[in-house]
Amino acid sequence: MSEQLEAERPRGRKPRGQGASRRGEILAAAKRLFAEEGYESATMRRIATAVGVSGAALYVYFPDKEAILFAIAEETFAELLVALEASQQAHGDPLQRFRAGLMTYVEFGRARPDAYRLTFQRKMINPAAPGRHCGDIEAADRSFDILERSVAQLMEAGLFAPGDSVLVAEALWACLHGTTAVLLDHAEHLASDPDALAATVVDTAIRGLLRAG
């Protein structure tokens, strides 16, 4: 019993005025617990203990676990946006720049498996999640805008066949998300090298969009 009480006792507390740092620690601890123990098992009390704050202090930052899960999604999309924006500065050729953006998405998800799952598979993790979704996150909208705008520009330049740029962008995202999810959670079923598979999916998608002739 004494060991259990010791495990549940919050660790050393930080001085006041470190709210941003504390919030980041809460998200990091929750991300780890959600991934290791499952969303349902990782209670607010467990999260508070992992961070080293009281339960009451945790509720100052987040009202419930869903709010924490949503904050993880916001953080992940903010990092994705930075990565996508950087990918668009790396190449002068428009098709190479477009390809770099698609590859960056898959590489981003593979490098952050827990954050990716918690962000893009939130309904699987918490089927009872309320109505807030990725469309409520500005960085998510801006990330998709990079993809849609790139598609539209390549259509206007005559490199891609004309069409509905939003529809094409959503189809591309479906390919990217599906590929990322397979590489994260079903790679054991693949005979192919993961890097080669991702590159082949991206290159095949681009070839399918090129204007004939």
Report pLDDT digits (tens) over 71-120.
Answer: 999 999 999 999 999 999 977 899 999 999 999 999 999 999 999 999 98
H-only helix segments in the chain:
2-8, 19-37, 44-51, 55-61, 65-87, 94-111, 113-120, 122-125, 138-156, 165-185, 194-209
Amino acid at 10: P
Q: How many residues does the chain have?
A: 213
Whole-number pLDDT of residue 125: 56
| Contact between residue 33 and residue 120 where contact means Cβ atoms under 8 Å apart | no
CATH number at residue 41: 1.10.10.60
Could you tell me if 38 and 82 lie in one domain?
no
102: closest CA among 199, 192, 168? 199
Could you tell me if 25 and 116 lie in one domain?
no
Instruction: Determine the structural domain holding residue 195 and report its residue range.
Output: 70-209
Report pLDDT digits (tens) over 151-189.
Answer: 999 999 999 999 999 999 999 999 999 999 999 999 999
Beta-carbon contacts of residue 137 (< 8 Å; ≥ 6 apart): 73, 74, 77
Q: Which two tokens mark 144?
A: 């998709």
The structure tokens 């290791």 sit at 36
Could you tell me if 18 and 123 lie in one domain?
no
Could you tell me if 27 and 114 lie in one domain?
no
Which domain-ending residue is among 44, 62, 80?
62
CATH number at residue 158: 1.10.357.10
Could you tell me if 174 and 98 lie in one domain?
yes
Could you tell me if 105 and 194 lie in one domain?
yes
What is the band of 50 on the pLDDT scale with cuts at 50, 70, 90? very high
Whole-number pLDDT of residue 136: 81
Whole-number pLDDT of residue 11: 45
Whole-number pLDDT of residue 143: 96
Whole-number pLDDT of residue 94: 95
Could you tell me if 170 and 102 lie in one domain?
yes
Percent of the chain with pLDDT over 90: 73
Report the number of distinct structural domains present in the chain.
Answer: 2
171: closest CA among 194, 205, 211, 120? 205
